[in-house]
């Protein structure tokens, strides 16, 4: 049993680490193509981001390995593989439920991490990336990594989800974590500044958090930020990736946005 758990945790650590390197590497490459020189002079910072992220991968691998072992060996989780086990409509709804619950957990733990003592002890590691790059998505202090690592593995023990839907959740989590830190907006202004952008978080929204610290704490959605008065609109990018200014979701004008 112990050996199986260890092997499962090691396997999941490898998967998380490789996934991070591939996805962050792909978007770092895209950044070099789209904005040559954007990360110039940040080599030391990026090496630090990669180092912390690989430590985080090991931490994420442990609860993920426990969940994978519990599912594969004992059937303890609510992960299912037969499409007919639950109504078809539950497939997309389960993805949304997981994202909403994850977003809720992230918002409140993230705000908690910004309390002065906790910020100095842990969250400052993430905010040491100034500005963050595509490699910063998992650059966390181990204590902070632990708060993020337990969410999805805990949910699979309580909320039914098809294995493919779970893959969608993990894909969205990974891609948004990377793109929200890479220093430029990959989505069209029509999405970011349109009705959907009032509720979805992209790089423009998270950039404001890394600039101002005490706002924009959400992960996927702006719901909790709006409800709690911590949504301060969209940020700007130093490279001025824009053909003019554009209004954010609240009608404020912000420069530096991709078309």
Looking at residue 255, what is its pLDDT? 35
Give the C-alpha separation, 250 to 203, whole Å. 16
- Give the Å distances, CA to CA, from 63 to 42, 95, 108, 214, 224: 32, 20, 20, 30, 26
- At 232 the three-state DSSP class reads coil
Question: Mean pLDDT in the chain?
Answer: 92
Total-model pTM: 0.90
- Asked if pLDDT for residue 249 goes beyond 90, the answer is no
Banded model confidence at residue 239, pLDDT cuts 50, 70, 90: low
Q: Helix, strand, or coil here: 258?
A: coil
Q: Please give the pLDDT value at position 206.
A: 97
pLDDT exceeds cutoff 60 at 34: yes
**In the structure, what pLDDT confidence band is assigned to residue 32 with cuts at 50, 70 and 90?**
very high
Cα gap 190→183, rounded to integer Å: 19
Give domain limits for the chain.
Answer: 1-33+45-182, 184-259
pLDDT of 231 higher than 60: yes
Confidence of residue 240 (pLDDT cuts 50, 70, 90): low
Q: Comparing C-alpha atoms, which of 201, 175, 219, 176 is closest to residue 22?
A: 175
Query: Tokens in use for 75?
Result: 């059937």
Residue carrying structure tokens 């890394």: 210
Q: What is the pLDDT of residue 237?
A: 86
Q: Is 214 helix (H, G, I), strand (E, B) or coil?
A: coil
Whether 142 contacts 53, CB under 8 Å: no
Higher pLDDT, 17 or 130: 17
pLDDT at 29: 98
């Amino acid at each position: 049993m112990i050996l199986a758990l260890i092997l499962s945790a090691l396997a999941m650590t490898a998967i998380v680490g490789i996934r991070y390197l591939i996805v962050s590497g792909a978007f770092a490459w895209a950044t070099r193509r789209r904005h040559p020189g954007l990360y110039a002079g940040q080599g030391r910072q990026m090496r630090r981001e990669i180092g912390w992220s690989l430590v985080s991968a090991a931490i994420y691998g442990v609860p993920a390995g426990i969940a994978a072992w519990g599912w594969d060996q004992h059937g303890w989780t609510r992960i299912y593989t037969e499409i007919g086990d639950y109504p078809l409509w539950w497939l997309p709804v389960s993805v949304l439920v997981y994202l909403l619950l994850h977003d809720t957990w992230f918002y409140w733990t993230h705000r908690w991490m910004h309390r002065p003592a906790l910020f100095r002890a842990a969250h400052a590691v993430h905010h040491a990336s100034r500005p963050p790059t595509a490699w910063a998505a998992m650059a966390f202090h181990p204590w902070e990594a632990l708060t993020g690592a337990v969410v999805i593995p805990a949910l699979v023990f309580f909320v039914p989800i098809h294995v493919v839907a779970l893959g969608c959740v993990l894909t969205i989590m990974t891609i948004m974590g990377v793109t929200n830190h890479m220093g430029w907006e990959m989505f069209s202004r029509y999405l970011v500044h349109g009705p959907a952008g009032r509720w979805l978080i992209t790089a423009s929204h998270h950039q404001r958090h890394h600039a101002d610290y005490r706002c924009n704490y959400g992960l996927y959605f702006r719901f909790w930020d709006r409800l709690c008065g911590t949504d301060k609109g969209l940020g700007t990018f130093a490279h001025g990736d824009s053909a003019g200014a554009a209004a954010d979701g609240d009608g404020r004008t912000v420069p530096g946005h991709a078309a």
